[in-house]
Amino acid sequence: MTLDLSENLESKTRAEPRHVQLGLHDDQVLEMYWHMLLARRIDERMWILHRQHEVAFHVSGIGQEGCQVGAAYAVKRGHDFILPYYRDLCLTLTLGLTPRAMMLALYGKAGDPMSGGRQMPAHYSARQLNIVSVSSPVATQIPQASGIGFAIQYEKTDQVVVTCFGEGSTAEGDFHEGLNWAGIFGLPVIFLCQNNQYAISVPIEREMPVKNVADRAYAYGMPGVIFDGNDFLESYGAMKLAVARARQGKGPSLLEAKTYRPVPHSSDDDDRTYRSRQEVEFWKKRDPILLARNYCYSNNILDEDKNQEFEERAREIVDDANEFARAAPYPPAQEALNGVWGPLPEIERAG
Amino acid sequence: MTLDLSENLESKTRAEPRHVQLGLHDDQVLEMYWHMLLARRIDERMWILHRQHEVAFHVSGIGQEGCQVGAAYAVKRGHDFILPYYRDLCLTLTLGLTPRAMMLALYGKAGDPMSGGRQMPAHYSARQLNIVSVSSPVATQIPQASGIGFAIQYEKTDQVVVTCFGEGSTAEGDFHEGLNWAGIFGLPVIFLCQNNQYAISVPIEREMPVKNVADRAYAYGMPGVIFDGNDFLESYGAMKLAVARARQGKGPSLLEAKTYRPVPHSSDDDDRTYRSRQEVEFWKKRDPILLARNYCYSNNILDEDKNQEFEERAREIVDDANEFARAAPYPPAQEALNGVWGPLPEIERAG
Amino acid sequence: MSEINNIDALTLTLAQEMRRDPRIFLAGEDVGRRGGVFRATKGLVQEFGENRVVDSPLAELSLVAVGIGAALYGLRPIVEIQFADFIAPAFNQIVQEAARFRYRTNGDWICPLLIRTPYGGGIGGGLYHSQSIEATYAHIPGLYVVAPATPYDIVGMLRYALRVNDPVLFLEHKKTYRLIKGEVPDSDYMIPFCKADIKRKGSDITVIAYGLMLHETLQAAQQLIHEDIDIEVVDPRTLHPLDRDTILSSVKKTGKALIVHEDNLTLGLGAEISALIASEAFEYLDAPVMRLTGPDVPAMPYARTMQDYFMPNVEKITTAIRKLAAY
Amino acid sequence: MSEINNIDALTLTLAQEMRRDPRIFLAGEDVGRRGGVFRATKGLVQEFGENRVVDSPLAELSLVAVGIGAALYGLRPIVEIQFADFIAPAFNQIVQEAARFRYRTNGDWICPLLIRTPYGGGIGGGLYHSQSIEATYAHIPGLYVVAPATPYDIVGMLRYALRVNDPVLFLEHKKTYRLIKGEVPDSDYMIPFCKADIKRKGSDITVIAYGLMLHETLQAAQQLIHEDIDIEVVDPRTLHPLDRDTILSSVKKTGKALIVHEDNLTLGLGAEISALIASEAFEYLDAPVMRLTGPDVPAMPYARTMQDYFMPNVEKITTAIRKLAAY
Ligand SMILES: Cc1ncc(C[n+]2csc(CCOP(=O)(O)OP(=O)(O)O)c2C)c(N)n1
Ligand SMILES: Cc1ncc(C[n+]2csc(CCOP(=O)(O)OP(=O)(O)O)c2C)c(N)n1
Ligand SMILES: [Mg+2]
Ligand SMILES: [Mg+2]
């Protein structure tokens, strides 16, 4: 039923470190760790800013950096298309969205390149990076991803599309219809479900009658792949295979990253109403950044000094981004009226 | 993946005729045949009336009577709920809709008990029979069926729900969401797909990337059952098991009747634009009524005289219904304004 | 008599009604243990159990469709759409199905489904957590759209809605949830649909407003006393079908009308009210009917500056009224 | 110059445009071998192949979403919704997505998606094959809604639509497909959006009508010549955003206005036009703005008697005009 591509990784010699088996150099691994760390520090600062009443809202990607950095490294930046969702801070950061941009969006300030202060924070977008604008209604991006896949097939380029969504969102009709199109037409789309086990307060048993989202791949004639989304290398490996498959014209895949959201759904949520602290603590021990750091330590890719250096660099970047955004003005009020329509084409009168 | 419940039927001794194995008496089988025949003759007359410009539109159930009569005999009439679709002439006739009612609806005449002449023909409905009103947008009835299943579970009765739809309609989000609810809550719903291999002109390969609709049952945690929808007994057997399952609180099933539509999609269609005559002829040899008649002949349930008698009775009924409907007046024009809202509750002023 | 806020009015009445009628159940995303993201269903799962307070999967189309099915069966479902913005996936089921069962069966099948949803802006919700959706649904015959704005009206209209035998879209302005407080009598009173309420009597100008804008308008009226402008404030409460008589008599009396809403101008509810007045009270009008609404942009921006620019408020209302008074 | 009917105008222009721009493709239910259930895409799959004339699965939500995705990528998708009634499952994708990409990204992403669909009644389609959907979508900023009613306008506006960089809902009145014929020049002319057309000059009363009702109105105007009533007929053509100037100047000239549409009265397009006139041409009005529309019932019944009762037509239009003339 579900084809666990990560098995393929095991077939190589066990002697080599996992990242070498995956074709990754040490410095790439280090870079991946760096992006995860930076994403985490930005995200944590956003929580703090919310608690300090500096900003009105935050929705977080904490805990899901593993699969996100894996996905980011598996695609060609600016070439492939990404339709992210609101937790994809680490994914979009790794793909080139800047911390300053993210902070501007957090504050809703002028110059926010994602929406010009129109959308709530975490509605990632950057056309020059082929990152398609996130909207709040969940799952709408899924069939849109199939549309981009359709266009790629139409134009016969070697691009692929990755779209992300939570497991709760797979209950929407958009999920079914989007995967159905991709399956029928064999489109180059990777559907990456970040299964963090809750849709706000609703646990997976109430979201679907199957154990795994990937169990549904069969219904769409595509492979379903389950992997540990908190393990950045396993995530990278699974994504790499799916991307290759799509790029070779072999069609779509449904990927399921098993992960967890150790923080509340958003700054408006109180997760103590629906889950135990033990459960949360259990998962904090499986924190993707912790796992990545340990991997780097034990493979001599990182040492404590270097890590300290990273932490300091991250702090500087976050400070800079925050100060930059804080100092930025709000958009002029009348900007609200702009950009509803594009200019209409001019025509020379004829006929 | 798909659990073929019809296998169970084979476990009984082969010596007995199939209907006896299924627990059906001879006269029940005869009655089933009669309903199929009558449905067919009504349907054929409707095509003729359209060709004669007596009526403006017809959409047909021809070719699908096998699974429909099977379904009708598997449920408790007036007790269980049915959410049919526009091809369910035989199903709803067998459950108690009268030929006169159907002809009134065909003409759009006053007294049409399904809609008072408001809906197009074949939009079956009868509250006293628990037959829920068909609408034209496809697939909307599927999640509604789950709602009725939910109500049954809520009220703890032993009712079940059957809803019918074409295989093309399973591409709509409604299908996914409806089955998802039924699966999560274990609702007493039978989803009966009448797979006639086309959605108007679009063949199944363009509707879904899997061979069988039932292949999708696994994604909703329910059994998927494939059977020959042109074989009325096999259809009955499959339905009977699924109904029993639902009635015992064991949850929903997705049933797939493999069948064919040997006539155009509707009186507006020209099916020669999209399929060969050979294909149609092939299927006409597998006509469910032909198969049922032969079964009855070879099991001495019916002979040619009796069949002739049935044919005559059918002709009389169809003539009567047609003349009745033809003679009926159109609804008064201003009736168009009635029945938008129910009376508002009266209240005694207080507070 | 006790003073409560809008959200308490909801929660208390939901509980009371569920005690009264065992056919009533509640379904929606996070309505159970979480008690709803706005806490409107707080405590209900504890009192009524998971069977009657149902956490639904994240799927509005089927949430509404399941409500429809249950209503056809004879239950009294209440479904909560978490934000009005997210009702859009259920549009087909609401418009083509819920609102048409009675008509399409000539009264044989009925669909008493109640859909509750928080709508409206001013809370930093940006494009997708601030929308006003009333006009889209007020266009649909067979569907009641109500928007009670005070605890008193919420309690009375919610009780009534649960006795109406047609589908109802029950709109709750989310900014008023905790902002607006009011007296609610202990009796089991009800407020019928299709009855507007004159929230303030006045003689110079009729202002028609509902939801949060009703409260902004009442404040504006208070301020304008000092300028000797006496405003009559009509709260339609039921937005569809409108109480034409109350609106028209007020305008016939004052001769001037202003309609205020957050939704964008074009084909917002103000279009219908304005057309109604222009057609039925033409000879009484001393000035053109005026609309003060959100601008024609796709929805309300997030940044404070732009949000404030979008929203009508006391100041903009007083300015508009002054203009109308001077006409 | 040649005389063709509305459906030929569509088919010919689709083919012509697809030859011009390889980024244009067509997708929809039965648009391929079947050539569309109304035959609007007849012959296109033969000329352009299955890649560019795509039979879609039966799923409007994703049909539109796939169009959105392709438009974001830079193609020029045309999606056909088989009947306007069946656009409802795609409501969320159209309103919340297609119409908001430009605004929500401050112009970074654009969505030039063209959605074609047959709408309107009078053809025995009953509740679900006769609907007028323009008002629901004309409420949505960021979405063009056009309804050209003659071969000339269809050709010119379809060409233009395929050069506009925003989503367009292109409405085709299905009863006019074969009924309405007209001259179409051989040149590559275009008709811009947001320009109404005065289809008949007159001095006594302005009638605003589009689609099938335009033609009924033109006939009514012809009849009324004999009663010395001289009608000006304004065809908005673009229903959203409206060409306010043309409408207002006509009404300012005539002093009386009637709006005719099939869609139901409440919050139909007539509400906005009426509100616009009542607000901007108030001082020029010699009579209340009048609306002649379908009644407020969930949709058009099937039975001929009731369908005819529902539909405005020449007779009802002349009656309304006489009433307005006598005011
Ligand atoms: C259509 C729609 N309905 C409801 C919501 C409100 N909402 C926002 S996130 C969310 C839960 C999403 O769960 P999941 O898809 O698992 O993603 P996660 O947040 O867990 O990453 C809900 C119900 C929404 N944004 N869109
Ligand atoms: C939502 C919606 N879209 C399109 C249509 C037009 N339409 C009517 S029947 C049909 C094909 C249905 O195919 P299928 O579900 O396989 O049922 P069948 O007619 O083959 O029995 C289509 C496209 C519709 N009725 N509803
Ligand atoms: Mg989740
Ligand atoms: Mg079919």
Does D215 participate in catalysis according to the annotation?
no
Per the document, the length of chain C is 327
Chain B CB contacts of D177 below 8 Å: none
- Residue in A closest to D110 by C-alpha: A342
- For ligand 1, atom 24, name the residue with the nearest CA: A137
CA distance B125 to B132: 5
Closest of B62, B145, B144, B49 to residue B104, by C-alpha: B49
Pick the residue of C73, C91, C164 with the most B CBs within 10 A to test the interface with B by mutation: C73
Closest of A127, A132, A105 to residue A118, by C-alpha: A105
Tokens representing residue A27 in the block: 């410095």
Q: Domain D2-184 maps to which CATH number in 3.30.750.24, 1.10.3860.10, 3.30.70.360, 3.40.50.970?
A: 3.40.50.970
Query: For residue B90, how far is its CA from the centre of ligand 2 (angstroms)?
Result: 19
- For ligand 1, atom 25, name the residue with the nearest CA: A137
Question: How far apart are the CA of C74 and the nearest CA of chain B, in angstroms?
Answer: 8
Q: HEC states along C15-45?
A: HHHHHHCCCEEEEECCCCCCCCCCCCCCCHH
Q: HEC states along D110-158?
A: CCCCEEEEEECCCCCCHHHCCCCCHHHHHCCCCCEEECCCCHHHHHHHH
Q: Edge-to-edge strand order for the sheet containing D290-294?
A: D197-200, D231-235, D205-209, D257-264, D290-294
pLDDT of residue A10: 47
- For ligand 1, atom 12, name the residue with the nearest CA: A199
Instruction: Give the residue ranges of DSSP H helices in chain A.
Output: 6-10, 18-21, 26-51, 65-74, 89-95, 99-107, 141-155, 173-185, 204-207, 232-247, 277-284, 288-298, 304-327
pLDDT above 90 (res A5): no
pLDDT above 90 (res D2): no
**Three-class secondary structure of residue A209 per DSSP:** coil
Mean per-residue pLDDT for D129-135?
98
Pocket probe for ligand 2: among B120, B163, B169, B192, the residue whose CB has the most ligand atoms within 8 Å is B169
Tokens representing residue B173 in the block: 């989000």
Cβ pair B124, B97 in contact under 8 A: yes
Query: What proportion of chain D, given as a percentage, has pLDDT over 70?
Result: 100
pLDDT of residue B351: 40
What band does A14 get if pLDDT is binned at 50, 70 and 90? low
Peptide bond into D22 cis (omega under 30): no
For chain B, the distance separating the N- and C-terminal CA atoms, rounded to the nearest angstrom, is 61
**CB-CB under 8 Å, A173 with B177:** yes
pLDDT of residue B5: 45
CA distance B178 to B188: 12
What band does D156 get if pLDDT is binned at 50, 70 and 90? very high
Chain D CB contacts of A139 below 8 Å: none
Q: What is the residue-averaged pLDDT of chain A?
A: 95
What is the residue whose two structure tokens read 């110079």? C204
Domain boundaries, chain A: 2-6+15-329
Q: What share of chain A is helix, strand, coil (3-state, %, to 5)?
A: 50, 10, 40
Query: For residue D99, how far is its CA from the centre of ligand 2 (angstroms)?
Result: 27
Query: What proportion of chain A, given as a percentage, has pLDDT over 70?
Result: 95
Residues 83 through 142 of chain B touching chain C, CB cutoff 8 Å: 113-116, 118-119, 123, 125-127, 132-133, 135, 137, 140, 142
Cβ pair A222, A182 in contact under 8 A: yes
**CB-CB under 8 Å, C34 with A136:** no
pLDDT of residue C150: 98
Nearest to C282 among D85, D280, D288 (CB): D288
Residues 167 through 226 of chain C touching chain D, CB cutoff 8 Å: none
pLDDT of residue B349: 54
Please list the residue range(s) of chain C that carry CATH number 3.40.50.970. 2-184
pLDDT of residue A54: 97
Chain D CB contacts of C138 below 8 Å: 266-267
Nearest to A146 among D62, D165, D188 (CB): D62
Chain D CB contacts of B173 below 8 Å: 59, 61, 89
**Three-class secondary structure of residue C236 per DSSP:** coil
Question: How far apart are the CA of A256 and the nearest CA of chain B, in angstroms?
Answer: 14
Extended strands (E) in chain B: 81-83, 161-166, 189-195, 198-199, 202-203, 224-228, 253-258
Specify the range with the lowest mean pLDDT, choosing from A5-9, C156-160, C253-257, D26-30: A5-9
Please list the residue range(s) of chain C that carry CATH number 3.40.50.920. 197-325
- Is some CB atom of chain B closer than 8 A to the CB atom of C57? yes
CA distance A286 to B16: 62
- For residue D207, the surrounding DSSP H or E stretch is strand D205-209
pLDDT tens digits, residue range A82-127?
A: 999 999 999 999 999 999 999 999 999 999 999 999 999 999 999 9
Nearest to B206 among A175, A184, A222 (CB): A184
Question: Taken in order D77, A189, B193, B285, is the CA torsion positive or negative?
Answer: positive
pLDDT tens digits, residue range B257-302?
A: 999 999 999 999 999 999 999 999 999 999 999 999 999 999 999 9
Query: Is pLDDT larger for residue B13 or for residue D161?
Result: D161
Task: Name the neighbours of A, counting chains with at least 3 Cβ pairs within 8 A.
Answer: B, C, D
CA distance C7 to D289: 41
pLDDT above 70 (res D184): yes
C29 lines ligand 1 (CB under 6 A): yes
What is the residue whose two structure tokens read 């159930």? B61
Give the type of residue at C128.
Y
Per the document, the length of chain B is 351
CA distance A305 to C262: 56
CA distance B327 to B173: 43
Question: How far apart are the CA of D291 and the nearest CA of chain B, in angstroms?
Answer: 18
CA distance B231 to A26: 65
**Three-class secondary structure of residue C249 per DSSP:** helix
CA-angle at A287, arms to A283 and A288, nearest 5°:
135
- For ligand 1, atom 4, name the residue with the nearest CA: C86
Give the type of residue at D281.
A
- Residue in C closest to B154 by C-alpha: C51
pLDDT of residue A274: 96
Query: For residue A193, how far is its CA from the centre of ligand 3 (angstroms)?
Result: 9
Mean per-residue pLDDT for A26-45?
98
Mean per-residue pLDDT for C10-39?
98
- Is some CB atom of chain B closer than 8 A to the CB atom of D28? no
Run means of pLDDT, 10 residues per run, chain B, 351 residues? 45 76 98 98 98 98 98 98 98 98 98 97 98 98 98 98 98 98 98 98 97 98 98 98 98 98 97 96 97 98 98 98 98 98 83 40
DSSP state of D78: E
Atom of ligand 2 nearest to the CA of B139: 1
> Which ligand lies nearest the alpha carbon of A200?
1
- Is some CB atom of chain C closer than 8 A to the CB atom of D297? yes
Q: What share of chain B is helix, strand, coil (3-state, %, to 5)?
A: 50, 10, 40
What is the residue whose two structure tokens read 């009439």? B77
> Which ligand lies nearest the alpha carbon of B86?
2
What band does D319 get if pLDDT is binned at 50, 70 and 90? very high
Tokens representing residue D98 in the block: 């297609």
A129 lines ligand 1 (CB under 6 A): no
For residue D127, CA distances in Å to A121, B118, B120, D303 come to 43, 7, 8, 10
**CB-CB under 8 Å, D96 with C91:** no
Q: Which CATH architecture has domain A2-6+15-329?
A: 3-Layer(aba) Sandwich (3.40)
Query: What proportion of chain D, given as a percentage, has pLDDT over 90?
Result: 99
For residue A98, CA distances in Å to A66, A89, A270, D13 come to 19, 10, 29, 45
pLDDT of residue A350: 44
DSSP state of A131: B
Task: Name the neighbours of D, counting chains with at least 3 Cβ pairs within 8 A.
Answer: A, B, C
**Three-class secondary structure of residue B83 per DSSP:** strand
**CB-CB under 8 Å, D128 with B135:** yes
pLDDT tens digits, residue range C165-202?
A: 999 999 999 999 999 999 999 999 999 999 999 999 99
Residues 152 through 191 of chain A touching chain D, CB cutoff 8 Å: 152, 154-155, 173-174, 177-178, 180-181, 184
**Three-class secondary structure of residue A342 per DSSP:** coil
Question: Taken in order C307, C311, C314, C318, is the CA torsion positive or negative?
Answer: positive
pLDDT of residue D42: 98
Mean per-residue pLDDT for C201-214?
98
Domain covering D197-325, topology: Rossmann fold (3.40.50)
Tokens representing residue B201 in the block: 């002109």
Instruction: Give the residue ranges of DSSP H helices in C120-172.
Output: 134-138, 151-161
What band does A2 get if pLDDT is binned at 50, 70 and 90? very low
